[in-house]
Structure 1
């Protein structure tokens, strides 16, 4: 692509989960718990994953539709406060071409018997390969998958 561009955007998504802040935080911090919800559709080919959840640690994940473009997520954890906050920077690539760079802030707060999660993302979408509306939709889809994984993994009463 010869024409270069950057589209800047910020969005915030909020979810209320019927789980404790510790369980919601664990869904990000534990590799097995995160694998239950973080990734593309079930029919996608799963690529390489790495997971180092600590300040300065990196997480990578890749996958894509059979015969289609491979999506790659490359994250660097900037700040972690257990059961309260996760801040990371990440870039996304399609078939090795960087399509965006973002700062994501996840805030986790007790809300009644559950947890309110607020995810705010500040993104730079590069060269027309990605767009803010698509990213917001995809992030919301992942947060909904997180909610389903918390319900499926709920402790017995």
Structure 2
């Protein structure tokens, strides 16, 4: 039986984009654009469905499957603050095959730079019963931020 315990952690990632804060922000706000980097199908990932109500008090849902017949991952978020072209604050829950892995509070700050935009993402997470951990979450988030670059940079 899995030991019942909670693990807490915080991490911050920064990424520079050769795109304006408005363009980076729009990649989160526009469901069509977001699907190109957040839910993009690949050999390892099959998108099963998503919804996005991008506003304060709005919710987001995304579900996909790893490989053919593999585990199903589900992301459910609630937006607490949405400030156009500047920042987002939201909480989200991650599940795999219906089992909760984590609950996190995340913030994204967009700062104009000479070359475009600096995105700063800070996440405070609680991970359940050793089913997920900070390093795995950081790795997955870095991959998403790299995918975002492909969506916003020329």
1:42-88 Cα shifts (integer Å, max 9, x gaps): 12221121110000100000101221110000000010110000000
Kept in 2: contact 1:21–1:83 (CA 8 A): yes
Kept in 1: contact 2:107–2:121 (CA 8 A): yes
1:1-150 matches, within 5 Å, as: 1-39=1-39, 42-43=42-43, 44-65=45-66, 66-150=68-152
Matches of 2:116 and 2:47, distance apart in 1: 32
State the TM-score, normalizing by the size of structure 1. 0.93
Structure 1: runs of 5 or more not aligned: none
Q: Secondary structure at the match of 1:136?
A: helix
State the TM-score, normalizing by the size of structure 2. 0.95
Q: How many residue pairs end up in the alignment?
A: 152
Kept in 2: contact 1:40–1:64 (CA 8 A): no
Matches of 1:47 and 1:5, distance apart in 2: 30
Alpha-carbon distance, 1:39 to partner: 2.9
1:118-143 Cα shifts (integer Å, max 9, x gaps): 00000001111111100001001100
RMSD, matched Cα? 1.2
Kept in 2: contact 1:40–1:63 (CA 8 A): no
Structure 2: runs of 5 or more not aligned: none
